[in-house]
């Protein structure tokens, strides 16, 4: 068993899935489950082959610790989300295409993480871009797919330009070898770094390249939104790792202006991460669509991950990679719960739902635990990762960035509470009175992901040990643990003790609840309403303008999407003007421009 076996199963499975689904949709759905689970299990089987290299045709791969870690997160997300295909496959217009693209996008991700050379890296990067770009319009909107493809293509072109430039300077396409041969003291090398990190920022959705996330996540099929948020945006984090650690960026900027001991260009990228946290949080608070709300949450959490990776230190770097895992699991779980609600109700609009706890209690519990982790509340995995990031930032005196990280955690209480209160709590609409809990194969992945979130929140050692190996591989001092405690420079965190304390508090609250007098159940309409006549249950449900007083503080904010729209309009006008000049109805005019173009090129060649 080796890496090539995994890729072969995924690629052959993707192609075969097209024809199998055409014959039987349910069989195609189960194929996505089996292939993604097989990839996950086989990944553990090759964990002892770190350092091995593989060649196939023109592609070369290398099994690394960082590649294995990212592939593990992606395969786990794909495997759990695939169970939902069993129920949604019938709803898709092109189910055979969806099956093929779903599996091939996983193949592209795995191949990218283990790519040894730039050619392999770019081919599998494009495989992910193209497959996901064709999956997104299978949901609600094609426009979102266009925007996603344009942003991804810009990142792809930047990557290709950087690869060609590196090859010209070093004569090598092997990633680690080429970066080691590159003279990082030159402005050219710094520009190459900028191209690579630019591609990473577009993929992870860092401001101002975040516009595609809410559009794509909100419009994508319900079964693929967890993949986008929990998995594919993490490809940008991997590119950031390559740009900062393998490049290496800190050596390239060693002579640059330092801010708090950090080179100014890297500090600027960290500021973008901090802005992403703030903007993602504020925009998530405003959303009435649950999927768009979680998408903006991914923008904010992408900022945490980017900041952690850019620090390249013992504590913050470990926190960034742990947060990558914690957010992938929690975000994918939250998207799965919303998909379950949409499967039963046909909508993801928060204002159209309410009282789902009475019909879907397991789904409610899963969502509750997921948002506790996303908000960074103990004893969940998100608390440990955010604690490490904040400790690392505070130790370096990065107060603004630390404030943004703290603001994001506080603000996340607000946006994750909105679906909790308006979707699951509140009043159940009469039209939803006969709803049932999610089907069994939806409940299984939700419960598994919830168990992982809670387990890693109590025993983070199991993931941190993977991260320690990544740090050693990258030449970074690894974070240390003493038993169940994370030992850092200014103290330690024992997540197990935190869990015990919270568990004891929960037990006391439960005892008091059982001993205290119970409330009296009354009919829904039997309530005092300050002389107002409430004649329908919907009027008792508070969902519209949920945070209206707070939202009014920034309702007239400048819009990045509006800016891009105006820019695209100007580019279109320029294109029309050029078209008018070059494609004139008069052949003589067109011939004149061709002659001028040839003369300019010829003159340039003579002068050079």
Q: How is 233-295 classified by DSSP, letter by letter? A: THHHHHHHHIIIIITTHHHHTTTSPEETTEEHHHHHHHHHHHHHHHHHHHHHHH-SBHHHHHH
pLDDT band at residue 599, thresholds of 50, 70 and 90?
confident
In the numeric block, which tokens belong to residue 122?
A: 């770019």
> pLDDT of 36-76, one tens digit each?
999 999 999 898 888 888 888 889 999 999 999 999 999 99
In the numeric block, which tokens belong to residue 579?
A: 């078209």
Do 494 and 583 fall within a single domain? no
Q: What is the DSSP letter of 92?
A: -
pLDDT of residue 67: 93
Q: Which of 192-196, 318-322, 487-491, 543-547 has the lowest mean pLDDT?
A: 543-547
CA proximity to 247, closest of 305, 185, 304: 185
The pLDDT of 383-391, averaged and rounded, is 91
Residue 516 included in any domain: no
Task: Give the burial string for 114-147 (b: 16+ CB within 10 Å, else e).
Answer: bbbbbbbbbebbbbbbbbbbbbbbbbbeeebbeb
Do 585 and 447 fall within a single domain? no
pLDDT at 523 over 50: yes
pLDDT band at residue 535, thresholds of 50, 70 and 90?
low
Task: Give the burial string for 26-37 (b: 16+ CB within 10 Å, else e).
Answer: eebbbbbbebbb
Measured in whole angstroms, the distance separating CA 65 from the mean position of its chain's CA atoms is 20
pLDDT of residue 539: 57
pLDDT of residue 1: 76
Do 488 and 574 fall within a single domain? no
pLDDT of residue 145: 80
CA proximity to 327, closest of 280, 392, 283: 280
- Among 12-26, 132-146, 476-490, name the most confident range: 12-26
Q: Which of 3-17, 78-92, 144-158 has the lowest mean pLDDT?
A: 144-158
Boundary-marking domain end, from 488, 504, 520: 504
The pLDDT of 248-270, averaged and rounded, is 84
Boundary-marking domain end, from 479, 504, 529: 504
505: CB partners within 8 A, 6+ apart: none
Separation between Cα atoms, residue 247 and residue 265, nearest integer Å: 14
pLDDT at 608 over 50: no
CA proximity to 317, closest of 208, 409, 240: 240
Do 582 and 482 fall within a single domain? no
Do 28 and 126 fall within a single domain? yes
217: CB partners within 8 A, 6+ apart: 225, 228, 229, 291, 292, 294, 295, 298, 335
Share of the chain above pLDDT 70, in %: 92
Q: Beta-carbon neighbour count of residue 15 at 10 Å?
A: 13
Separation between Cα atoms, residue 133 and residue 254, nearest integer Å: 39
The pLDDT of 314-322, averaged and rounded, is 91
pLDDT at 473 over 50: yes
Do 83 and 221 fall within a single domain? yes
Do 500 and 571 fall within a single domain? no
Do 119 and 219 fall within a single domain? yes
Range of the domain at 593: 567-607
Do 495 and 585 fall within a single domain? no
Separation between Cα atoms, residue 108 and residue 130, nearest integer Å: 10
Cα angle value 36/42/44 (rounded, 5°): 115
Do 470 and 601 fall within a single domain? no
pLDDT at 139 over 80: no
Residue 435 included in any domain: yes
CB of 5 closer than 8 Å to CB of 42? yes
> pLDDT of 339-358, one tens digit each?
999 999 988 888 888 888 88
Residue 477 included in any domain: yes
pLDDT of residue 543: 67
The rounded mean pLDDT for the chain is: 86
pLDDT at 607 over 60: no
Do 596 and 488 fall within a single domain? no
234: CB partners within 8 A, 6+ apart: 70, 73, 74, 204, 305, 324, 328
445: CB partners within 8 A, 6+ apart: 79, 80, 81, 83, 84, 336
pLDDT band at residue 529, thresholds of 50, 70 and 90?
low
Boundary-marking domain end, from 489, 504, 519: 504
Do 585 and 487 fall within a single domain? no
pLDDT of residue 534: 61
pLDDT at 217 over 60: yes
Q: How many domains does the chain have?
A: 2
The pLDDT of 125-152, averaged and rounded, is 84
Separation between Cα atoms, residue 258 and residue 266, nearest integer Å: 10
CA proximity to 111, closest of 70, 166, 158: 70
pLDDT at 461 over 70: yes
513: CB partners within 8 A, 6+ apart: none
Share of the chain above pLDDT 90, in %: 37
CB of 358 closer than 8 Å to CB of 298? no
The pLDDT of 560-564, averaged and rounded, is 74
């Amino acid at each position: 068993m080796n890496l090539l076996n995994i890729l072969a199963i995924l690629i052959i499975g993707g192609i075969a899935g097209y024809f199998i689904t055409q014959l039987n949709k349910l069989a195609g759905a189960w194929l996505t489950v089996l292939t993604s689970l097989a990839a996950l299990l086989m990944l553990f089987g090759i964990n002892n082959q770190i350092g091995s290299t593989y060649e196939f045709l023109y592609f070369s791969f290398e099994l690394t610790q960082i590649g294995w870690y990212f592939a593990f997160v992606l395969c786990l997300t794909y495997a759990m989300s695939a169970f939902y295909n069993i129920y949604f496959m019938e709803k898709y217009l092109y189910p055979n295409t969806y099956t093929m693209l779903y599996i091939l996008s996983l193949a592209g991700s795995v191949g990218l993480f283990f790519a040894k050379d730039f050619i392999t890296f770019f081919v599998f990067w494009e495989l992910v871009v193209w497959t996901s770009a064709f999956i997104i319009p299978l949901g609600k909107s094609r426009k979102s797919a266009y925007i996603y493809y344009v942003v991804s293509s810009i990142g792809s072109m930047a990557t290709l330009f950087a690869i060609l430039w590196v090859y010209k300077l070093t004569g090598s396409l092997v990633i680690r070898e080429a970066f080691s041969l590159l003279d990082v003291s030159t402005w050219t090398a710094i520009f190459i770094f900028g191209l690579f990190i630019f591609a990473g920022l577009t993929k992870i959705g860092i401001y101002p390249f975040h516009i595609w996330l809410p559009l794509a996540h909100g419009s994508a099929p319900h079964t693929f939104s967890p993949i986008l948020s929990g998995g594919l945006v993490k490809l940008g984090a991997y590119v950031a790792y390559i740009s900062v650690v393998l490049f290496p960026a800190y050596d390239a900027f060693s002579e640059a202006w330092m801010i708090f001991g950090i080179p100014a260009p890297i500090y600027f990228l960290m500021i973008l991460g901090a802005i992403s946290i703030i903007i993602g949080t504020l925009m998530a608070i405003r959303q009435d669509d649950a999927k768009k709300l979680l998408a903006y949450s991914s923008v904010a959490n992408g900022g945490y991950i980017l900041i952690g990776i850019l620090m390249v230190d013992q504590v913050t770097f470990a926190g960034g990679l742990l947060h990558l895992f914690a957010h992938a699991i929690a975000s994918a779980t939250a998207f799965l719960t919303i998909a379950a609600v949409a499967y039963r109700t046909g909508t993801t609009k928060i204002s159209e739902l309410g009282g789902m706890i009475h019909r879907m209690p397991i789904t409610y519990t899963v969502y509750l635990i997921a948002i506790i982790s996303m908000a960074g509340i103990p004893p969940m995995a998100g608390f440990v990762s955010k604690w490490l990031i904040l400790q690392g930032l505070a130790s370096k005196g990065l107060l603004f960035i630390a404030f943004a990280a703290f603001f994001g955690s506080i603000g996340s209480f607000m946006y994750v509470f909105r679906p909790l209160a308006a979707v699951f709590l509140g009043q159940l609409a009469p039209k939803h009175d006969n709803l049932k809990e999610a089907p069994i194969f939806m409940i299984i992945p939700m419960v598994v992901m919830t168990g992982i979130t809670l387990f890693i929140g109590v025993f983070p050692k199991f993931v941190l040990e993977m991260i320690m190996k990544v740090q050693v591989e990258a030449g970074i001092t690894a974070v240390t643990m003493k038993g169940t405690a994370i030992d850092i420079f200014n103290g330690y965190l024992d997540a197990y003790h935190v869990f015990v304390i919270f568990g004891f508090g929960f037990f006391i609250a439960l005892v008091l609840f059982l001993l205290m007098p119970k409330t009296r159940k009354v009919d829904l309409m039997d309530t005092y309403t300050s002389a107002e006549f409430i004649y329908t249950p919907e009027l008792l449900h508070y969902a519209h303008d949920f945070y209206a007083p707070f939202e009014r503080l920034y309702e007239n904010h400048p819009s990045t999407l509006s800016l891009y729209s105006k820019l695209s309009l100007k580019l279109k006008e320029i294109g029309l003007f050029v078209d008018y000049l070059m494609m004139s109805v008069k052949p003589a005019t067109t011939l004149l421009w061709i002659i001028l173009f040839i003369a300019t090129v010829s003159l340039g060649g003579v002068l050079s």
